[in-house]
Amino acid sequence: MNMLQSESVSMHFGGLKAVENVDLSVREGEILSLIGPNGAGKTTFFNVASGFLKPTKGRIRFLGRDITGLPPHDIAAMGLVRTFQKTNIFAGITVEESVRIGFSLHRKASLGSILLGAGSVRAEEKKVDGLLQDILAFTALDEWKGSLVKNIPYGKQRILSIAVALAAGPRLLMLDEPATGLNPVETKELIDIILRIRGERGITVLLIEHNMRLVVSISDRMVVLSYGEKLAEGKPEEISKNPQVIEAYLGKGFQHVSQG
């Protein structure tokens, strides 16, 4: 089953063709990596798929439904949730408070019942508290839950962005360069969490990433963009042996990384 399907998606900014006629599918239960050099159109594609940009042409379908042009919060409420590269959005609040914000998409209580302190609200809060503690433990952030986000290590801030996304209840999790700025130990921790998100929680993953060692180690399939167009698609071992991809976009060192 295809969870996400783009059909001839293009995104133009004046004369710049950031994305051009991209057909891409994300299958349920897989980890798919979208790779390519800076300016290849990866983040633009993410912005279109998650509703932050309306494509110049083409359609986006999620779980069979046309979501083209829907607001980001509606798309997220359907189960397509993304992270962002910035980690300082919640700098002035605690880790626990940050993750709690992620649950706001699925709160059922009305404003009136919240103000009146209805029993349904208390039950919902109790359920959220349990899920919150579960996510903090799953991402190994429980020991940092009372710390301000700005005071925790950078690597933990990157993991926190994933924890906030998990709180939103994704069926498809889109990760935008999650390994940026991480050292090898932090990268290994990230790899473990991504694999567990799919393996233990059954969440499909689509990620943009420049760390080729990470991409090759966790991806079921890879899609390569170049100048906004899809250049290649296949399993990591196929992409790593594609001469056009190696020479033009990944550099000669990619083959060594994929085999190391």
Mean pLDDT of the region 32-38: 90
Read off the CATH number of the domain in which 210 is found.
3.40.50.300
Instruction: Look at residues 135, 182, 187 and name the one whose alpha carbon lies nearest to residue 160.
Output: 135
pLDDT band at 115 (very low <50, low <70, confident <90, very high): very low
Domain that holds residue 96: 92-168
| pLDDT of the residue at 89 | 72
The domain boundary, picked from 111, 136, 168, lies at 168
Domain count, the chain: 2
> In this structure, are 97 and 134 located in the same domain?
yes
> In this structure, are 163 and 174 located in the same domain?
no
> In this structure, are 232 and 113 located in the same domain?
no
Q: Which one has a higher pLDDT value, 192 or 255?
A: 192
Q: Is residue 84 part of a domain?
A: no
> In this structure, are 193 and 123 located in the same domain?
no
| pLDDT of the residue at 121 | 60
Tell me: pLDDT of 122 over 70.
no
Q: Is residue 86 part of a domain?
A: no
| pLDDT of the residue at 55 | 97
Instruction: Look at residues 19, 27, 15 and name the one whose alpha carbon lies nearest to residue 206.
Output: 27
Question: For residues 146 and 154, is the Cβ–Cβ distance under 8 A?
Answer: no
Mean pLDDT of the region 101-110: 63
| pLDDT of the residue at 120 | 55
> In this structure, are 13 and 52 located in the same domain?
yes
The domain boundary, picked from 168, 195, 221, lies at 168
- Tell me the C-alpha to C-alpha distance, in Å, between residue 20 and each of 8, 15, 143, 208, 244: 7, 12, 45, 18, 19
Q: Is residue 129 part of a domain?
A: yes
Q: How many residues does the chain have?
A: 260
Q: Is residue 85 part of a domain?
A: no
E-only strand ranges, 88-220: 172-176, 204-208
| pLDDT of the residue at 36 | 87
Q: Is residue 62 part of a domain?
A: yes
| pLDDT of the residue at 119 | 57
Q: Which one has a higher pLDDT value, 226 or 162?
A: 162
Q: Is residue 241 part of a domain?
A: yes
> In this structure, are 43 and 5 located in the same domain?
yes
How many percent of the chain have pLDDT more than 70?
87
Query: What would the pLDDT profile of 209-223 be if each residue is shown by its tens digit?
Result: 988 889 989 999 999
E-only strand ranges, the chain: 2-13, 16-27, 31-35, 57-62, 65-66, 80-82, 172-176, 204-208, 221-226, 229-234
Tell me: pLDDT of 152 over 90.
yes
Query: What would the pLDDT profile of 57-81 be if each residue is shown by its tens digit?
Result: 999 999 999 999 999 999 999 999 9
| pLDDT of the residue at 86 | 73
> In this structure, are 216 and 234 located in the same domain?
yes
pLDDT band at 108 (very low <50, low <70, confident <90, very high): very low
Q: Is residue 87 part of a domain?
A: no
| pLDDT of the residue at 114 | 41
Tell me: pLDDT of 109 over 50.
no
> In this structure, are 4 and 133 located in the same domain?
no
What tokens does 121 get?
A: 């609200």
> In this structure, are 178 and 163 located in the same domain?
no
| pLDDT of the residue at 253 | 46
| pLDDT of the residue at 167 | 94
Q: Is residue 39 part of a domain?
A: yes
Tell me: pLDDT of 258 over 50.
no
Tell me: pLDDT of 3 over 90.
yes
Give the side-chain half-sphere CA count within 13 A for 191. Answer: 16
